[in-house]
Amino acid sequence: MSEVSEIDEAEWELWQDFLTMHRDLMRELDRRLQSDAGLSQGDYTVLLTLFKAPDRRLRPGALGAAIGWEKSRLSHQLTRMVARGLIERVECDTDARGSLIVLTRDGRRALLGAMRDHASAIRSLFLDALEPDEKRVLAEASSRVLRRLGGSTACDGAEECAAG
């Protein structure tokens, strides 16, 4: 492949191994979340983001920006989660056209119930497989790549309903 690109065979193999590891790791984490807590990775991501937000609420645009999702994907996910009582949409007090996505008690309970098992799965499947120096190198490499990509900054948008 090096004739048609600046990537040699070893680098292609590294890239493919990285993609395969990420795909398989995310599938297994998702499988465990589903079986242990009845949540999808998408559910967990939305719930955790809301849990960390001021007043446990965010504008949809701010939520989408925080998790890096397109508007359509977020809308479908939120609709499913509202139907299950994990979140609710409420009107924004300061912007009649806007809404907020709010973590419900059931959503908070589901998230807290899933956190311990999810963290344990991350530890056993990923963190425990790495030596301390490998974790440091991986953290540094991830930071460099994210900086090169321009990083992803999440907007709060919870306090100011007109934003997002």
Indicate the pLDDT class of residue 158, thresholds 50, 70 and 90. very low
**Distances, alpha carbon 150 to alpha carbons 30, 71, 143, 146, 157, in Å:** 28, 21, 10, 6, 20
pLDDT in tens, 93-105: 777 678 999 999 9
Given a cut of 90, whether residue 163 has pLDDT beyond it is: no
Given a cut of 60, whether residue 160 has pLDDT beyond it is: no
Say which CATH topology domain 9-131 has.
Answer: Arc Repressor Mutant, subunit A (1.10.10)
What's the pLDDT at 4? 66
pLDDT in tens, 59-84: 999 999 999 999 999 999 999 999 99
Give me the residue spans of the domains in the chain.
9-131
| Backbone torsions φ then ψ of 87, nearest 5 degrees | -140, 170
| Backbone torsions φ then ψ of 160, nearest 5 degrees | -105, 105
**30 neighbors 41 (Cβ within 8 angstroms):** yes
